[in-house]
Homo-oligomer: A and B are copies of this chain.
Amino acid sequence: MNHYPESILNLIKSLSRLPGIGRKTAERLSLHILHAPNHEAQTLANDILELKKKVRLCSTCFSLSDREECRICSNPNRDRSSICVVENPTDMVAIEKSGAFSGRYHILGGALSPMDGIGPDELRIKELFARAVSKSITEVIIATGTDVEGEATASYIIDNLKKKGVNVTRIASGVPMGGDLQYVDQVTMQRAMEGRRGS
């Protein structure tokens, strides 16, 4: 495949390392960048470096942030009495997109998984407990994943917070909206039945 100059081959190789980008796509992208205006390529390169340099974890909720405290934690308009606990920053983004929560978050950095050597000390659970016992907190909402690890993490946190007298809730599980019931898996259907409410 050595039919391009070295600097094109180098970029093709670097781009191929990205997830979902194969050799052919990397080739196409490289040639696009080659023919794109200089400032566009420079912006792209610069954005990559800035991202690595600037993004860190919020000192309060551990979500991704450009600053010491993230935009949500430092926003005075957010409700400071509730904390929503999620595994990862992307989960937080999904909840933010829904617009259904106006409090602040706590990002655990993963889920309990003893098989992979991830115990409570590997996650930001201690930090959650420290935040949750503050008098200003009236509700901690658990929104961990619905897989085995997420469920285990939720149980562990709920048990411990209840002992500390904290009001804990969990987001509802059930059938997703807009879907056909015939495609809903058994476990989800069981959860939907268990969680039925009078209407």
Contact = CB atoms under 8 A, between A and B. Distances in A.
A92 interface: yes
A40 interface: yes
Number of copies: 2
A29 interface: yes
Interface stretch (A43-51, A76-84, A158-166, A176-184): A43-51
Interface residues of A, number: 53
11 contacts: A3-B97, A5-B65, A7-B47, A7-B51, A8-B51, A19-B28, A19-B29, A33-B51, A38-B52, A42-B52, A45-B46
Interface string A90-108: 1011001100000000000
Given A15-B44, A28-B20, A40-B17, A50 B5 contact: no
Looking at chain A's contact residues, is the secondary structure mostly helix, strand, loop, or mixed? Answer: helix
